[in-house]
């Protein structure tokens, strides 16, 4: 499970020429090699957060911004709470938002964190909006996944995406596998929640018609007022190959 170390390099794909280009950073400081991390992008930067490093670093809670013009990495304030893998981040209104993750024992939740991505990044600090307990069910602990009315349950390997001024979180693992690691499926959520940054409150989204069902480890993105979900793993540890579109 040793992560691939490319000394902070980023690979850029051109849909026009159908070619890849390796972007070597101009800075001596860059994110350490890692896996099970999460990433997103602003209009100017690629953003990488947390994940699992090697035996010397363990799980991480750092955040790095890669300037696609200068090819420079910048490290901003470390996120609050436990180091984690399988978290999810997104950008909305010049703020980076984070929710969930797995700390090696339990899925995390009960709070959504944000940090401003403009002005003086060196002085920017994370802010946390809490709505419940931070940790969920541990490996081997008895109990079913139970949601609450205040916000989404604890989860990792989920999605976090902006849509029409709100932040959506979808699906994800709510209880770790019996092995407690990333080598088997746990118990998954099949729900969708929306966070309103203005009121700082969550509301569950009641979707219509057929749904993708419970899953984690999937790919997701947003465009033109819609969310796209592709693939993933279900509770039977089966790899999924279906695609879904959620329209606002």
* 87-126 pLDDT per residue, tens: 999 999 999 999 999 999 899 999 999 999 988 999 999 9
Residue 134 is predicted with a pLDDT of: 77
Long-range contacts of 139-148 (CB under 8 A, 24+ apart): 139/105, 139/106, 139/176, 139/177, 139/178, 139/179, 139/180, 140/178, 140/180, 141/175, 143/175, 144/187, 145/174, 145/175, 145/187, 145/189, 147/189, 147/191, 147/204
* 131-173 pLDDT per residue, tens: 988 777 776 676 667 677 799 999 999 999 999 999 999 999 9
Residue 191 is predicted with a pLDDT of: 95
Query: What distance separates the 2 farthest-apart alpha carbons in the chain?
Result: 53
* 223-247 pLDDT per residue, tens: 999 999 999 999 888 999 999 999 9
Burial label, 98 (beta-carbon count in 10 A; 0-12, 13-18, 19+): buried
Contact call for residues 170 and 209 (beta carbons, < 8 A):
no
Tell me the CA distances in angstroms from 125 to 3, 59, 79, 191, one per residue in order. 28, 21, 8, 30
């Amino acid at each position: 499970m040793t992560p691939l170390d490319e000394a902070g390099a980023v690979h850029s794909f051109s849909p026009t020429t159908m070619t890849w280009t390796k972007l070597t950073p101009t800075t001596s400081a860059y994110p350490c090699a890692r896996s099970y991390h999460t990433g997103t992008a602003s209009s100017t930067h690629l953003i990488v957060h947390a994940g699992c490093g090697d035996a010397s670093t363990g799980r991480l809670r750092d955040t790095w911004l890669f300037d696609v013009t200068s090819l420079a990495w910048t490290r901003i304030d470390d996120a609050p709470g436990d180091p984690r893998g399988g978290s999810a981040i997104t950008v909305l209104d010049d703020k980076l938002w984070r929710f969930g993750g797995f700390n090696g024992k339990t899925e995390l939740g009960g709070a959504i964190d944000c940090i401003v991505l403009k002005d003086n990044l060196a002085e920017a600090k994370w802010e946390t909006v809490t709505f419940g307990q931070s940790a969920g069910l541990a490996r081997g602990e008895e109990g079913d996944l139970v949601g609450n009315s205040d916000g989404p349950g604890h989860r990792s390997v989920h999605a976090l995406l902006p849509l029409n001024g709100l932040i959506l979180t979808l699906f994800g693992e709510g209880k770790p596998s019996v092995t407690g690691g990333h080598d088997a499926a746990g118990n998954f959520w099949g729900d969708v929640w929306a966070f309103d940054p203005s009121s700082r409150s969550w509301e569950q989204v009641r979707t219509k018609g057929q749904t993708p069902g419970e899953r984690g480890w999937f790919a997701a993105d947003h465009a033109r007022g819609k969310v796209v979900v592709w693939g993933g793993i279900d509770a039977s540890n089966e790899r999924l190959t279906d695609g879904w579109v959620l329209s606002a």
